[in-house]
A and B are shown apart, each in its own frame.
Chain A
Amino acid sequence: MNRLLVVRCPELLDEDEGGVSRRRFTEVVEVLGTYCPWVTTVRPGICSLPARGPARYFGGEDALVERIATAAGSITVVEVGVADGLFAAVLAASHGAIVPPGGTSDFLAPFPITILGHPDLAELLHRMGIRTVGDFTALPEPHVLGRFGGDGIRCHRVACGRSDELDAPPRRRLGIVAIPRQAGHSAPSGTVEATTQTEFWGGVSDLDTRAGRTLAAVQSLLGPDGVVKARLQGGRGPAQRARFIVWDARDNPNTHKEDATLNAPWPGQIPPPAPVFVHPDPLPAKLVDAEGSPVAVTGRGLLTAAPGRLSVAAGVWSSVDGWAGPWPSDERWWSRSRRRSARLQAVTGPSAHLLVVEQGQWWVEATYG
């Protein structure tokens, strides 16, 4: 376990509206940064730093505590303590103590059992006549595990000084995530709240909020992937030119980022208009010429015969009124996953299809309408 020095500012533990306490705490952290660069903010008003290195440099833990208390004391009231592990160090700070290495168990023994932060466990122990941490540590560990389970054993290990930090019950998220080190930028940025905050101008409108709530309700009916939205991207075939991603209520519809591959050149891409239906699983098709013999595409990208009739998914045959193409596409010709295919547009009566042929088999990849 690490030797930790904890600085606790009792006046700055609660955040105020104007952020004054947060700014002053930032100043404290900056001052501590001159003693050791690895200052960790534990929660508003409490920060810790590893004590071993600075203590050796400044001539002992007592000297270090004295120096830090003087330096930070010019900003606000501070309490400084050193102990093994964070839990004991925070307690040591609030009592202004320097707990010797390995002395955690003795230091914690006189404290009431409630300091372990598990109210249910504390009440149970209290009714069993176990009032202090010392009484609790006197219980053998296997019995604690058998009687109180995982929570009990974690508390027991911390109380014995064999574990660093309680697996704390859900507490308030840390208000400060990143504290700027540069002087002059004392307002802490990157608070947790800021990630969900939206700008006033160009932010999410009332209409967007209402739609977001509605779609979240639909997601609760169908599951998260029941609602999707479409994003365009680059690609040759119509199936590759768009992808569907799960709709997320936190996305701002106004900040729409264009995919970088969208405007890249894609040889073999079919000119617009795009088909209105893109079949997720292409439908097998048969394409024959006027005499009824199958139509294929040669290695040079030419049709062997003019298409005459088309049958989609083993359905009825319909005559091909017009056709365009083929557009040969040779994907990843440099690798083993090479794919050669050709696309063909075919009009049959009121519908038009985008056919793709691969290894002699025709598929309906998309339908124009």
Chain B
Amino acid sequence: MFVAFPDRPAGEGPGRSSSRLEARASLALLAERTRPVSASQTQLLPVLPPLDSLFPDTGLRRGTTIVVSGTPTTRATGSNTPTGADVNVALALSAGASRGGSWCALVGVDNLGAVAAHEIGIDLGRLAIIPRPGAAWADVTGVLIGGIDLIVIRPPFPPRPGVARRLVARTRERRSVLVIVPGRSKWPEHPDLHLRVDHLCWEGAGCGTGHLSGCRMTVVATGRRSAVRPRRQVLWFPRPPAGDTGAAGDTGGAGAAGR
């Protein structure tokens, strides 16, 4: 819709100009009212502010795949317990989209701490959890890509290259965002963005004093095209400690999920 306002000759009196101002105001109001709720800019899903510098578009571009992997030292310890730094980052990614009203799905995370998801900012009413998809995980993910904006998957088995390629292609076609937390297995496809938790330390617990207050992690993002230059960001989970201006100073002192 385009409405031209022909310039009227000057000197028509104050009444005329005030009516014109009124018309402009009402036109602006009309434009605001008829503005589509989802503009073309919603090709991007929002992310929480401290994470946005990791993304070349400062948001999650629809149709992309993102791989989140934990620290290499985490995998070297060989302990049986899963370490959740990668899932933490994936949840923080979902939180931004969830606050924007998008639906999120978690596939293959059978031991999710729902309170943590809530604290990080995910709307639990719009979070579907498929805890144990089993052998059907790829089919389930394929179905979800059609109707859910952001899907976090932790494949229970190492995915075959053909399956991974099909899921990536479907994600690109259906304009969802696929976040893969491969854990110990490897994602065979080259993702659009790879977030790697580089360094991680837990703060707050002394030797019998205090309590865990959060963790500080360095996340490195590498990717294709505009994301080829590695970006590095220090993040706090779930929020920065009060009065902290130290290592996280360059992030603006904001945690990953500051409310």
Contacts and interface: CB of A to CB of B under 8 A. Distances in A.
Given A230-B127, A352-B205, A276 B81 contact: no
B207 A349 contact: no
B83 interface: yes
Interface in B67-92: 70-71, 73-74, 77-85, 87-88, 91
Given A315-B78, A352-B215, A322 B206 contact: yes
B81 A313 contact: yes
A247 B112 contact: no
A140 interface: no
Interface string A305-329: 0100000111110100011110000
Q: How extensive is the interface on chain B, given as a class?
A: 35 or more
Contact of A242 (B83, B113, B140): B113
A354 to B, nearest CB: 9
Given A276-B113, A352-B205, A222 B133 contact: yes
A253 interface: yes
- A interface bracket (residues with beta carbon within 8 Å of B): 35 or more
Nearest to A257: B125
B133 to A, nearest CB: 7
Contacts of B134: 222
Interface string B139-153: 110011011100000
Interface in A255-294: 256, 270-280, 283
Given A226-B130, A273-B213, A273-B214, A349 B73 contact: yes
A271 B238 CA distance: 13
Contacts of A226: 130, 132-133, 140
A347 B139 CA distance: 38
Given A215-B128, A231-B124, A312-B80, A366 B205 contact: no
Given A230-B129, A283-B80, A238 B115 contact: yes
B79 A229 contact: no
Contact of B130 (A222, A278, A315, A345): A222
B57 interface: no
Given A276-B88, A276-B91, A347-B202, A324 B125 contact: no
A248 to B, nearest CB: 11
A217 interface: yes
A274 B103 contact: no
Nearest to A255: B125
A21 to B, nearest CB: 40
Contact of A221 (B112, B139, B146): B139
A349 B77 contact: yes
A229 B128 contact: yes
Interface in A172-219: 207-208, 210-211, 213-215, 217-218
Contacts of A347: 202, 205, 212
A241 B79 contact: no
Contacts of B91: 276
B130 A351 contact: no
A227 B126 contact: no
Contacts of A279: 111
Given A273-B214, A274-B116, A367-B83, A324 B205 contact: yes
A109 interface: no
Given A277-B112, A364-B81, A272 B238 contact: yes
Contact of B81 (A217, A271, A325, A353): A353
Contact of B205 (A231, A238, A242, A323): A323
B41 to A, nearest CB: 16
Contacts of A367: 81-84
B88 A316 contact: no
Interface string A328-369: 000000000000000001110111110000000000101111
Contacts of B79: 312-313, 315-316, 318, 351
A31 interface: no
Nearest to A364: B81
B35 to A, nearest CB: 17
A232 B124 contact: yes
24 contacts: A211-B148, A215-B128, A221-B143, A222-B130, A227-B130, A229-B129, A232-B118, A241-B115, A253-B125, A256-B124, A273-B213, A273-B237, A274-B119, A277-B82, A278-B111, A313-B81, A315-B78, A316-B77, A322-B202, A345-B205, A345-B212, A350-B70, A351-B84, A369-B85
Given A211-B103, A315-B80, 17 more contacts: A211-B128, A221-B139, A222-B133, A227-B129, A230-B127, A232-B118, A273-B238, A276-B84, A276-B116, A278-B114, A280-B110, A303-B208, A312-B80, A324-B204, A324-B205, A351-B79, A368-B84
